[in-house]
Amino acid sequence: MSKCKHVVLSMKDKYEINKRLEESESATKLSIEYQVDAVYKWFIQKRCQGEPISGPILCEKAVQFNEKLEGPSNFEASSGWLKRFKSRHGIRELQIQGEKLYADLLAAELFKIKLRDILNQENYGLENVYNADETGLNWKALPRKTLASRRELAVLGPKISKDRITALACANATGSHRLPTLVIGKSKKTR
């Protein structure tokens, strides 16, 4: 099994490829000639934009590229194809953490400007500006993924613990004063 190498095209190569595509040359032929994987390039672009990509989305895109590039008519983006594709390009599955994609960056910038104006008008120093945020912690939770040997067909685990606490952290903008962390445990009367 040969190992695929990462191909970086020069501007000259990119220009030549675009020119030949405009002259109706086969995109499949060009991708083979220049050793370029369109699906992988698309995947990298989307991940750089922070978009989550699942296996089915990747398979669907591979079928679309195959049709667009006039690839083999019998091509199927099967689970085997996906497994080989991920292995070939070193793609692994990770859990999504946080909510960065959903942050309203424009609103945040406008808020920073408005806050700066208020601080200047009222003559407040940064030591008087506090920020607080809450977070949840499943303090008895075990990992949800594990590594397994080739001999293991399935991995059974213990029941998932749902023991959770909520913590609130608060400090001023200069970092010179931090309030004690507030921790809320299990409620006596659950909803």
Per residue in 38-95, pLDDT (tens digit) is: 788 788 878 777 778 888 888 998 898 888 777 788 989 999 988 888 888 788 877 6
Question: What's residue 157's pLDDT?
Answer: 66
pTM for this model (two decimals): 0.41
pLDDT in tens, 137-176: 887 776 666 655 566 676 676 677 778 889 999 999 999 9
Question: What's residue 181's pLDDT?
Answer: 93
Which residue do the tokens 């909803």 mark? 191
Residue 129: name the closest of 145, 118, 140, 141 by CA.
118
Q: How many domains does the chain have?
A: 2
Which structural domain, as residue segments, surrounds residue 132?
126-184
Which residue do the tokens 């949800």 mark? 144
Residue 78 lies in a domain: yes
Residue 190 lies in a domain: no
Does 84 share its domain with 149? no
Among the three residues 74, 89, 104, which one is the final residue of a domain in this structure? 89
Residues in the chain: 191
Residue 120 lies in a domain: no
139's CB contacts (< 8 A; 6+ apart) are: 163, 164, 165
55's CB contacts (< 8 A; 6+ apart) are: 79, 82
Burial of 52 (0-12, 13-18, 19+ CB in 10 A): exposed
Does 136 share its domain with 77? no
| Rounded mean pLDDT, 26-47 | 75
Give the Cα separation of 48 and 163 in Å (integer): 35
Which residue do the tokens 């594990």 mark? 146
In this structure, what DSSP letter does residue 129 have?
-
